[in-house]
Structure 1
């Protein structure tokens, strides 16, 4: 069988107005659906996200229904069975029993000139040795689409006999038949449709998308104010803290007194409830001061934090660190409160041999010691 010339190449089928309009609308719906999903996530709006997904699903169903007659017409087109010679084949990477194989074939119809075509078919590993260059196989394709070639796995006895004794001459490369290109106009219609679909969604919502997000803290959250370059003062409706920077300690001269005065001044100027002159508890650590202020009208024991014996606190901490048998002190804490009766200063220390504490009165005089159990 010889083939001096190939069949006339089919012209592009996507450059007529109906195809361009269909591509534009489909691409527009895709752009709008994606834009709705993205905008929904940005605005944290579940209805917008769901709307994008529903739009895509509904349009897919409508396209499926609208395309049913065309698919039926294509299915009704007669198929042509013919012999084809294997010019070359190449197995691609695949998993499982069937692997994709690229075939370069010369198709030799009985009633038309031979032509070349390239296809990819899935072939079982067991049957793969039966396909080799120079061999002849039975194929079929729709009469109006010669590029859509399919290998016939189980041909009829008549075609099996014909393939067994046939020889197909190689068609020239110029006779290669491919699926018609979509064309530049169709590609442009897809791009424009995608952009228009996205714009239809984004432009009406641009005000919400560009609106600044309110990331400010809620009114009840603590608002920090830096009192110096090496310490930070934070006050809220019921408490205040001072955090010292590197190289500083609450035991430094006048550091504790100044920190408490900073807190009471901040408390008195923020307009929040509670008296700046009365506290329920004061806790002092090496670099941290915490004050719990007494709410206005609350019948609870309270005291003026500015009345603490500041000059005695470093000595009390040193006495607790050296006389209570904890070993080298790892942490210490001073707590001032008057839950029952007069003001009490409690100094707690922790070391390798356990925890210990001592208590002092409002003048800083030690009234009780509790040594470490292992001291």
Structure 2
């Protein structure tokens, strides 16, 4: 019984670990975990088979008990094949031991069903320590055939029915406990990947330096060109998380750098909110300037954005081996 409880506990752990590993592996898209979830029950089954080898070897050395058995009742089940599973209740009379009842399932060919009737005597065999595993001997020896033909067997009382010992509530409780522990083990090992907040769509931007004083500047360095779709807006949003961008007097946009100059606290100078900047117009302005200003190659560009009255003025400066030129927004 203790071994059965241990087996139930281990089976629960393997089941919980397998299911949880398979599901978690799919969620976090981790193939090795999925493979582990699929392979664990196979490995566990092999271990159980190997662990049961000594018991099977001992049982193989024990001579089975051969006895006469009378059919008390039979009930045929349904099947689509030629053999029909028939539930038999037998009174088994082993030599030198008390008779008992046993319930077994025996496959009988459809044409042989009339040969099995209540009261008929059969020959059965079973392991000495497990009488509930009785099996009908299909072709008994001539001696046993003669004994079966001549035998008159008294029915054993129904209370003598032998059955496989139930696993019990402890087995089920340990199996459930093992299942929960197995699932908890997987969740604890991969909780960081499973419950981590979703990473932002872009993690390439890195804030190199930020001055949060009322008079100063801040620079955002990124790994991609700010002319890409949405890149300039993401750079501005990342800067807004670290500094107040509502009081800006100058903005310089380069290919992979955004520099912002903030207005001094006491100075009465024009300023604007960087978040209100029409960033979608900057890439188009740069492309128009680099296409129309001929300064040779290689060349660089930068966009100067400053407040002009109640509006904001943007100018692109393109520099190359042939000099430099500029183009204003609307120019």
> For the superposition of Structure 1 and Structure 2, which TM-score range results when normalised by the shorter chain?
0.5 to 0.7
Q: Post-superposition shift, 1:205?
A: 1.6
Say whether residues 1:71 and 2:56 are aligned partners. Answer: yes
Partner of 1:270 in structure 2? 280
1:141 pairs with one of 122, 126, 139: 126
Match of 2:21 in 1: 36
CA offset at residue 267 of structure 1? 11
Structure 2 residue aligned with 1:207, among 192, 197, 203?
192
Match among 129, 149, 152 for residue 137 of structure 2:
152
TM-score by length of 2: 0.61
| Partner residue, 1:20 | 5
**Cα displacement string for residues 101-126 of structure 1 (whole angstroms, at most 9, x for unaligned residues):** 11111111121111111111111112
Matches of 1:212 and 1:122, distance apart in 2: 59
CA distance in structure 2 between the aligned counterparts of 1:111 and 1:151, rounded to whole angstroms: 20
**Cα pair distance change 1:272/1:82, threshold 3 Å:** farther
**C-alpha RMSD of matched pairs (Å):** 2.8
1:91 aligns with 2:101: no
The equivalent residue for 2:112 is 127
Change (3 A) 1:164 1:270: same
User: Unaligned 5+ residue runs, structure 1?
Assistant: 1-13, 220-235, 239-265, 276-293, 301-375
Specify the alignment match of 1:104 in structure 2. Answer: 89
Q: Which of 24, 49, 52 lines up with 2:34 in the alignment?
A: 49
- Paired position in structure 2 for 1:165: 150
Q: TM-score, normalised by structure 1?
A: 0.54
Deviation at 1:60, TM superposition (A): 2.3
Q: Confirm or deny: 8 A CA contact 1:103 1:121 kept in the other structure.
A: yes
CA contact (8 A) 1:237 1:272 kept: no
Measured in 2, the distance between the counterparts of 1:94 and 1:37 equals 35
Write out aligned runs for 1:1-375 (5 A).
14=1, 16=2, 18-213=3-198, 237=229, 268-270=278-280, 273-275=283-285, 296=288
Distance in 1, Cα, partners of 2:282 & 2:153: 97
SS of 1:116's partner is strand
- CA separation of 1:270 and 1:190: change in aligned 2, threshold 3 A: same
Please report how far the alpha carbon of residue 47 of structure 1 lies from its aligned counterpart in structure 2 after TM superposition: 1.0
Match of 1:230 in 2: none
Gaps in structure 2 of 5+ consecutive residues: 205-227, 231-275, 293-331
Q: 1:297 to 1:68 in 2, by over 3 A?
A: farther
Structure 2 CA distance for aligned equivalents of residues 162 and 298 of structure 1: 110
Query: 1:172 Cα shift?
Result: 1.1
**How far apart are the structure 2 equivalents of 1:117 and 1:214?**
64
Count how many residue pairs are aligned between Structure 1 and Structure 2.
224
* Distance in 2 (alpha carbons) for counterparts of 1:152 and 1:122: 12
Match of 1:346 in 2: none
Whole-angstrom distance in 1 between the partners of 2:21 and 2:55: 31
Going by fraction, where is helix more abundant, 1 or 2? 2
Distance 2:70 2:131 in 1: 15
Structure 1 residues 120 and 296, CA, compared in 2 at 3 Å: closer, same or farther? farther
